[in-house]
């Protein structure tokens, strides 16, 4: 296999006085899928647009196999892109939408249509060839856009939150299919942006965590999830965001600033006394009648088969994720158990110092 | 607010009365004061027709609509005293936020200091307090939707609040905030709220009761946790929950459900297990990996593991079928061969796509 890499050095972009990308460096390798996770305005779309050539960086450069890539016009970049909105040619049939990039490259009509037909089969749209995009559901329209992007056979495929406008059952289905669809694209670099950490983890060979234009961490999904470099990463890679509590360590005891204490867990015994920020994941807090922490429900939300509870508690506001559907009314009193073994410790500046 | 009763309400746009003619098949329904109902289903399922009958936009081809003791079937929307929030914000763009919220009260000839107090109270609740003097047109889509809702909330005599996919135009990132805000308001005001959506999460979050609709009928209604535990049809089992409920082809033999030649124990009384072809439904959340063989334990093979962060979705092959198991991250994931247990109390049986009742 060719060792082909896309390299970004010191990329910066500002638009209308707002920083979108702030000295970003990374190397992406062919045959791998990279998910870019970040909140709205983290710079995810800007990053894709810079790679695609839709936007020139203010500084820094992109090279493909050490060849200058920035500066090349969009059409010479060998890039395909799928957007949040379902973008298709409204006047063309589904089949011709997919055949379009092939035809533009001079593939004979018959051959282009045959390959488009194959791609439509791969994205599950067999039988829809003669329809117009407007006659399709949102999910089907996105499938057409996806098939057209694949038809381009570009070396770089960029997907900008492609599932964000679909409801969760469809998102669930697409994610499963994506795993199959992108596996075996050994000659492609795929970059996929999302705000959903579950999606980023299950699809990506590697994750890039972007926040306010800066690349905070890049690595294997499990590594980033288990050892988030900072409180900001810990908030971004957990849904709901990791709970953070101020406190300190003294006399081999962990103290939350609310006054509550806990035995120092084994993974923190080597830490010097002083101030810390402690983090705990929403699914590591357990609702139990004998729990030490009292709290009150502010709002309960359901996502898939899980319930997110937002609580006001004795040690501060906490989010708790419970398996199953729990319809808890506003102001319901609950008790929580917190296992110190599940706590992360961060320096007051936010850097990770101990992980469970 | 009011209790809403639908008596033999049905609607056929063509006026025909054969089963295929109905956009909404005749049904009886009571919506209680202070509760929230979600009408959930894909487009064309009849949910918007049902909402429009309640609001008076559509006059039903048969049946009566009651608000408490009042028959409102023949009344136009304006005389039903309802608040409506549509897919697209309906606001007076040239007026200020204050004027928008005050409008229904000015129409009711309230005294100006009473209006000021009420509008201030509602604006604070909606986090619009700082924007009262601003023209409404400059607001974001989610703020505009809150104004639409606020115009209903300022009126103290509203019978019901009806919402038709109110989050459609909201930026996906903002949906979370608006959902939370609506949920808070709803918990606090105890609205009689009827909410139309195609989004399961929205329905499960807002509603005290969900009506799952399909083909002009209510397929199942009940509290969210009931729909999750006892899906009435295999469709509901697929639609509610993530990942979907697992279904296995099995056979009823005596008091057992036999899957891949292995008789399984269920919570069904022996005489309730249908004989012959059935399907076993069991949620990914309830399947367990165990160390030793025993009752309801099957030999399985792990074929795929998806890491979602807080949970892992493990796909296993068992008896020629594929099922998904949802495991908390701290639980060990077996590699290759594994033993899978189906807890008897969590097994649901389906015959011809319909849940076999447990009692």
Overall size of chain B counted in residues: 359
Question: Which two structure tokens, joined as six digits, stand for B178?
Answer: 């608006």
What is the least distance, in Å, from the CA of B199 to any CA of chain A? 6
Question: Which two structure tokens, joined as six digits, stand for B358?
Answer: 């447990």
Question: Which two structure tokens, joined as six digits, stand for B322?
Answer: 């594929």
Q: Which residue of B173, B243, B328 is in closest CB contact with A172?
A: B243
Residues B250 and B219 in one domain: no
CATH number at residue B90: 3.40.50.300
Neighbours of A180 (CB within 10 A): 9
From B36, B1, B68, select the one nearest B163 (Cα to Cα): B36
Q: What is the pLDDT of residues A278-316, one digit of tens each?
A: 999 999 999 999 999 999 998 888 887 888 899 999 898
Q: Which residue of A164, A225, A304 is in closest CB contact with B241?
A: A304
Q: Which region among A80-84, B4-8, B200-204, B212-216 has the lowest average model confidence (pLDDT)?
A: B200-204
CATH number at residue B292: 2.40.50.100
Q: Which region among A14-18, A219-223, B340-344 has the lowest average model confidence (pLDDT)?
A: A14-18
Give the model's pLDDT for residue A9: 94
Query: Does A238 score more than 90 pLDDT?
Result: yes
The yes/no answer to whether this complex scores an ipTM above 0.90 is no
Exposed/middle/buried for A177, CB within 10 Å: 0-12, 13-18, 19+?
middle
Neighbours of A78 (CB within 10 A): 13
Residues of A with CB under 8 A from a CB of B: 39-40, 84, 161, 164-165, 167-169, 172, 179, 195, 197-198, 201-202, 221-222, 225, 237-239, 281-283, 298-305, 310, 321, 323-327, 329-330
Is B243–A167 a contact, with Cβ atoms under 8 angstroms apart?
Answer: no
Q: Which residue of A168, A239, A301 is in closest CB contact with B179?
A: A301
CA B282, B283, B284, B287 dihedral sign is negative
Question: Is residue B173 very low, low, confident or very high in pLDDT (cuts 50, 70, 90)?
Answer: low
Give the model's pLDDT for residue A303: 80
Question: Is residue B342 very low, low, confident or very high in pLDDT (cuts 50, 70, 90)?
Answer: very high
Residues B169 and B51 in one domain: yes
From A26, A70, A19, select the one nearest A43 (Cα to Cα): A19
Residues B67 and B169 in one domain: yes
Q: What is the pLDDT of residues A57-67, one digit of tens each?
A: 999 999 988 88
Query: Does B179 score more than 80 pLDDT?
Result: no
Question: Which two structure tokens, joined as six digits, stand for B340?
Answer: 């899978």
Picking from B235, B256, B288, the residue at the C-terminal end of a domain is B235
Give the model's pLDDT for residue B103: 93
Q: How far apart are CA A144 and CA A122, in angstroms?
A: 11
Residues B205 and B287 in one domain: no
How many domains in chain B? 2
Chain B residues touching residue A136 (CB < 8 angstroms): none
From B116, B118, B117, B139, select the one nearest B128 (Cα to Cα): B139
What is the least distance, in Å, from the CA of B307 to any CA of chain A? 5
Q: How far apart are CA B279 and CA B350, in angstroms?
A: 5
Residues B70 and B193 in one domain: yes
Q: What is the pLDDT of residues B15-49, one digit of tens each?
A: 888 888 899 999 999 999 988 999 998 878 899 99
Give the model's pLDDT for residue A1: 41
Picking from B170, B201, B235, the residue at the C-terminal end of a domain is B235
Chain A residues touching residue B173 (CB < 8 angstroms): 39-40, 195
CATH superfamily of A243-354: Nucleic acid-binding proteins (2.40.50.140)
Helices (H), A123-167: 138-151
List Cβ neighbours of B43 (8 Å cut-off, separation of 6 or more). Answer: B198
> In B, residues 278-307, which contact A (CB 8 Å cutoff)?
283-285, 306-307
**Assigned fold of A5-230:** Rossmann fold (3.40.50)
- Whether the CB of B242 is below 8 Å from some CB of chain A: the reply is yes
Provide φ and ψ at B95, rounded to 5°.
-90, 160
Exposed/middle/buried for B223, CB within 10 Å: 0-12, 13-18, 19+?
middle
Pairing state between β B297-307 and B311-318: antiparallel
- How much of chain B exceeds pLDDT 90, in percent? 68
Is A305–B241 a contact, with Cβ atoms under 8 angstroms apart?
Answer: yes
Query: Does B111 score more than 50 pLDDT?
Result: yes
What is the least distance, in Å, from the CA of A27 to any CA of chain B? 24
B214 DSSP β-pair partners: B217
Domain boundaries, chain A: 5-230, 243-354
List Cβ neighbours of A21 (8 Å cut-off, separation of 6 or more). Answer: A11, A12, A13, A43, A46, A47, A50, A57, A213
- Whether the CB of B326 is below 8 Å from some CB of chain A: the reply is yes
Give the model's pLDDT for residue A302: 85
- How much of chain B exceeds pLDDT 70, in percent? 99
Cis omega (within 30 of 0) for bond into A321 = no
- Whether the CB of B171 is below 8 Å from some CB of chain A: the reply is yes
Q: What is the pLDDT of residues A136-163, one digit of tens each?
A: 988 999 999 999 999 998 999 999 999 9
- How much of chain A exceeds pLDDT 70, in percent? 99
Q: Which residue of B172, B184, B285 is in closest CB contact with A324?
A: B285
Provide φ and ψ at B354, rounded to 5°.
-110, 140
Question: Which two structure tokens, joined as six digits, stand for A341?
Answer: 């073994």
Residues B73 and B219 in one domain: yes
Residues B231 and B263 in one domain: no
Chain A residues touching residue B205 (CB < 8 angstroms): 300-302
Q: Which residue of B187, B243, B307 is in closest CB contact with A329?
A: B187
Cis omega (within 30 of 0) for bond into B243 = yes
Residues B219 and B320 in one domain: no
Residues B308 and B194 in one domain: no
Q: What is the mean pLDDT of residues A212-220?
A: 97
Residues B188 and B57 in one domain: yes
Q: What is the mean pLDDT of residues A38-46?
A: 90
Q: How far apart are CA B349 and CA B266, in angstroms?
A: 9
Overall size of chain A counted in residues: 356
Q: Which residue of B228, B241, B328 is in closest CB contact with A283?
A: B328
Does residue A340 contact residue A262 with C-beta atoms inside 8 Å? yes
Q: What is the pLDDT of residues B156-172, one digit of tens each?
A: 888 899 999 888 777 66
Query: Does B7 score more than 80 pLDDT?
Result: yes
- Whether the CB of B177 is below 8 Å from some CB of chain A: the reply is no
Residues B93 and B227 in one domain: yes
- Whether the CB of B141 is below 8 Å from some CB of chain A: the reply is no
Q: How far apart are CA A264 and CA B184, in angstroms?
A: 37
- Output the CA torsion A46→A48→A50→A51 (10° steps): 170
Q: Which region among A322-336, B123-137, B329-343 has the lowest average model confidence (pLDDT)?
A: A322-336
Does residue B126 contact residue B181 with C-beta atoms inside 8 Å? yes
To 10 degrees, what angle do helices B97-107 and B112-125 make?
A: 130
| Domain with B156 in it | 4-235
Is B309–A201 a contact, with Cβ atoms under 8 angstroms apart?
Answer: yes
Picking from B235, B254, B270, the residue at the C-terminal end of a domain is B235
Residues B144 and B267 in one domain: no
Minimum CA–CA partner of A282 in chain B: B310
Q: What is the pLDDT of residues B258-293, one digit of tens each?
A: 999 999 999 999 899 999 999 999 999 999 999 999
């Amino acid at each position: 296999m060719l060792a082909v890499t896309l390299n970004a050095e010191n990329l910066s972009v500002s638009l209308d006085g707002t920083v979108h990308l702030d000295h970003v460096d990374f190397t992406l390798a062919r045959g791998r899928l990279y998910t870019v996770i970040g909140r709205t305005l983290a710079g995810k779309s800007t990053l894709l647009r810079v790679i695609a050539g839709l936007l020139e960086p203010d500084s820094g450069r992109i090279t493909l196999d050490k060849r200058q890539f920035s500066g090349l016009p969009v059409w010479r970049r060998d890039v395909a892109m799928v957007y949040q909105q379902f973008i298709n040619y409204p006047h063309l049939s589904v089949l011709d939408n997919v055949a379009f990039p092939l035809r533009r490259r001079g593939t004979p009509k018959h051959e282009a249509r045959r390959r488009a037909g194959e791609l439509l089969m791969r994205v599950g749209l067999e039988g829809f060839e003669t329809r117009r995009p407007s006659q399709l559901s949102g999910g089907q329209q996105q499938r057409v856009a996806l098939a057209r992007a694949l038809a381009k056979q570009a070396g770089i495929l960029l997907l900008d939150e492609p599932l964000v406008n679909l409801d969760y059952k469809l998102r669930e289905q697409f994610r499963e299919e994506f795993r199959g669809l992108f596996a075996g694209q050994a000659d492609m670099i795929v970059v996929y942006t999302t705000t959903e950490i579950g999606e980023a983890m299950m699809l990506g060979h590697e994750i890039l965590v972007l926040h306010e234009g800066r690349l905070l961490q890049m690595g294997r999904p499990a590594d980033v999830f288990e050892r988030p470099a900072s409180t900001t990463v810990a908030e971004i890679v957990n849904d709901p965001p990791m709970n953070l509590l101020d406190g300190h360590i003294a006399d081999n005891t962990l103290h939350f600033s609310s006054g509550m204490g806990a035995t120092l867990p084994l993974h923190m015994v080597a830490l010097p006394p002083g101030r810390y920020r402690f983090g705990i994941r929403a699914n590591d807090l357990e609702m139990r009648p004998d729990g030490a922490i009292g709290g009150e429900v502010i709002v309960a939300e359901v996502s898939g088969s899980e319930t997110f509870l937002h609580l006001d508690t004795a040690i501060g506001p906490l989010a708790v994720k419970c398996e199953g559907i729990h319809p808890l009314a506003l102001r319901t009193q609950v008790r929580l158990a917190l296992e110190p073994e599940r706590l992360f410790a961060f320096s007051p500046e936010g850097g990770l110092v101990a992980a469970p | 607010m009011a209790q809403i009763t639908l008596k033999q309400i049905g609607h056929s746009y063509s006026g025909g009365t054969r089963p295929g003619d109905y956009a909404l098949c005749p049904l009886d329904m009571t919506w209680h004061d202070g509760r929230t109902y979600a009408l959930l289903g894909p487009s064309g399922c009849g949910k918007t027709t049902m909402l429009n009958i309640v609001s008076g936009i559509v006059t039903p081809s048969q049946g009566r609509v009651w608000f408490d003791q009042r028959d409102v079937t023949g009344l136009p929307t304006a005389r039903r005293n309802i608040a409506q929030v549509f897919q697209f914000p309906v606001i007076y763009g040239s007026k200020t936020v204050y004027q928008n919220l005050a409008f229904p009260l000015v129409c009711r000839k309230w005294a100006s200091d009473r209006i000021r107090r009420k509008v201030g109270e509602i604006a604070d609740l909606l986090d619009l307090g700082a924007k009262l003097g601003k023209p409404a047109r400059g607001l974001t889509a989610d703020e505009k939707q809150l104004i639409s809702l606020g115009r209903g909330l300022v009126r103290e005599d509203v019978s019901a609040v009806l919402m038709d996919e109110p989050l459609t135009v909201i930026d996906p990132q903002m949906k979370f905030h608006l959902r939370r805000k609506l949920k808070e308001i709803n918990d606090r005001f105890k609205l009689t709220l009827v909410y139309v959506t195609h989004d399961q999460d929205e329905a499960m979050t807002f509603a005290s009761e969900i009506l799952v609709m399909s083909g002009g009928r209510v397929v199942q209604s009940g509290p969210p946790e009931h729909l999750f535990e006892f899906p009435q049809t295999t469709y509901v089992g697929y639609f509610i929950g993530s990942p979907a409920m697992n279904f296995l082809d099995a056979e009823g033999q005596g008091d057992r459900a036999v899957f891949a030649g292995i008789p399984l124990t269920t919570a069904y009384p022996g005489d309730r297990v249908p004989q012959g072809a059935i399907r076993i439904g069991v949620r990914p959340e309830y399947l367990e990996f165990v160390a030793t063989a025993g009752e309801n334990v099957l030999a399985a093979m792990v074929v795929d593991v998806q890491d979602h962060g807080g949970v892992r979705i493990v796909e296993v092959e068992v008896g020629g079928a594929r099922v998904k198991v949802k495991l908390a991250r701290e639980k060990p994931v077996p590699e290759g061969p594994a033993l899978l247990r189906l807890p008897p109390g969590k097994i649901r049986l389906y015959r011809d796509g319909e849940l076999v009742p447990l009692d």
